Amino acid sequence: MLLMSHRGGHQESKKKLEISPSETMKAEEENYKEEAKEPKSEDWRPPSVFGAADLKNRAVGLYNIGQTCCLNSLLQVFLMNIHFTKILRRISVPVCATQKKKNVPYQMLLLLEKMQCGKQKAVSPRELVLCLEAHRVTMFVQYDAAQLFLTLWNLLKKQMKNPELVEKLSDLYTISVQEHLACQICSSETKRNSSMLSLPVPLLDSDSSMLKTLEKCLQCFFRPEELTGHNMCFCEHCGKKTPFQQSVKLVHLPQTLTIHLKRFCFGRSAYIHKISNCLPFPQDLDFNAVLTEQQCQAYDNEKAAWKYELFAVVAHSGTTSYGHYCAYIRSLTECKWYCFNDSFVEQVSWDDVKSTYGHSDLYWGQTAYLLFYMKKQPQ
C-alpha cells in the first residue's frame, strides 16, 4: 500500500465520535427511494463520462448521513476529475451481489451514475458507506481528510483487478521522490526511491515561524535537514553514530498533484492544535520556479511538464475536536468554480476560494487543508 510521508510534523488522523448516525439516516430514507436501482448487466457502463458537476441540468450534491462531510468532499473531488472517471468506467463489474456490495470502485461507479442521471439536487452515498464499513473503515466519526483520502485510494487500487487500470490510477496520483541520507563525517550516502500520494508540507519552518506562501512551504519540505544530537544515525563506515544530512529530491509529478497543508500539529503542550494562519496559494504553480536543481532528480522532459493549475480545495472549518469539511472544485469542462457543501452546491467565484487562505484570528471559518492541482496541457 502507498503510504503518506510524515516529514515535517504530525497530523491528526481520526477524531472522536460525536453523534449517532441512526436518526440522520432515517431522515434521509425518503430520498433513497427515488434513486435509480442498481443495474443488473455485467456489461453495464454509465452512458457518459464527465465529472459529477458537469451535467446539463445542475451540479449534484451528496447527503450527509451522519458525519460524512469529509467523505462527501473527497468523493466530489474524485468524481469531478474526468481523468479519474475515465479509469473508473473501465473497471470489471463484479459477478455476484455480495461482491458488488463490497467493491469500492464499483460502488463509486454506481454513485457517479446516480449523480449523472438523477433528477434530484443531491443523492445519498449510503451504499458506498456500507461498502467501506465492510472493509473495516469506521464511518460516522470525525475524520482527517488526508488520512481518509489515503484510505480510499488504497482501497481503489487494491480492488481494481486490471493491472493496466492500476497503473493508470498510479500515474494519475502518485508522486515519486528519492530520499538521500549522507554521513557528514565520511560522506557515504544511501539513496532510496519511494512513492507518495501527497506532499505533506509544513506551515512552520524549523524555527516555528509561519511560512508566508505555498511556494515557501514546498521549499521547506524539500530543504535538506541536519540530523545531529539525539537524531544522529549509525554509520556503517564510521562504526558509530554520526551527524547525517537527510534530503528528499523530486523525481516525478503526476497528472493530479495533491498537497497536504499540515494545519494539525503538536504544540509545546503536547496537544494537537490547528494552525489557522493565512497561507495564500496560487492558481498556477510551476515547480521549476519553486525548487532548485539540487532539489530535483529528474530529466528535462519530465521537468518541462511540471506546470499546474488549481483544480480543487478541500477546506476544514472548526477545531481539532470537531469541525466540518466542504470542497471547492473547478469544473474541467466549464472552467467554473463550485462549492460542494454536502447536499448544497452553488457556483462560486475565485474570491470565494481565496477565503480559505485562513487567518490567525480565525476560530470556525474555512481554511484550506488539501490542495489538488491539475497538470496543464502542453500548448
Q: Does the annotation mark 186 as catalytic?
A: no
Query: Which grid coordinates are listed for 71?
Result: 467523505
| Phi (first) and psi of residue 94, to 5 degrees | -55, 150
Tell me which residue has cell 521537468.
303
Query: Which grid coordinates are listed for 60?
Result: 449534484
- Contacts of 30-33 with C-beta under 8 Å, sequence gap 24+, read 31/63, 31/120, 31/122, 31/123, 31/124, 32/124, 32/126
Largest CA distance in the chain: 71
Enumerate the β-bridge partners of residue 210: 204
How far, rounded to the nearest angstrom, does the alpha carbon of residue 321 sit from its chain's CA centroid?
A: 21
Decide: helix, strand or coil at residue 205. Answer: coil
* Alpha-helical segments (H) within the chain: 22-33, 69-79, 82-88, 97-102, 104-117, 126-134, 145-159, 163-173, 214-222, 287-290, 300-303, 350-354
Q: Does the annotation mark 324 as catalytic?
A: yes
Using CA atoms, how far residue 107 sits from 111, 162, 301, in Å, is: 6, 17, 38
SS3 content of the chain, % helix, strand, coil (to 5): 30, 25, 40
Query: HEC states along 7-19?
Result: CCCCCCCECCCCC
What is the identity of the amino acid at 41? S
Environment class of residue 219 by beta-carbon count within 10 Å: exposed (0-12), middle (13-18) or buried (19+)? middle
Q: One of 183, 217, 324, 339 is an active-site residue; which one?
A: 324
- The 189-196 sheet, strands edge to edge: 189-196, 175-183, 244-252, 225-227
Q: One of 69, 131, 265, 339 is an active-site residue; which one?
A: 69
Catalytic (active-site) positions: 69, 324
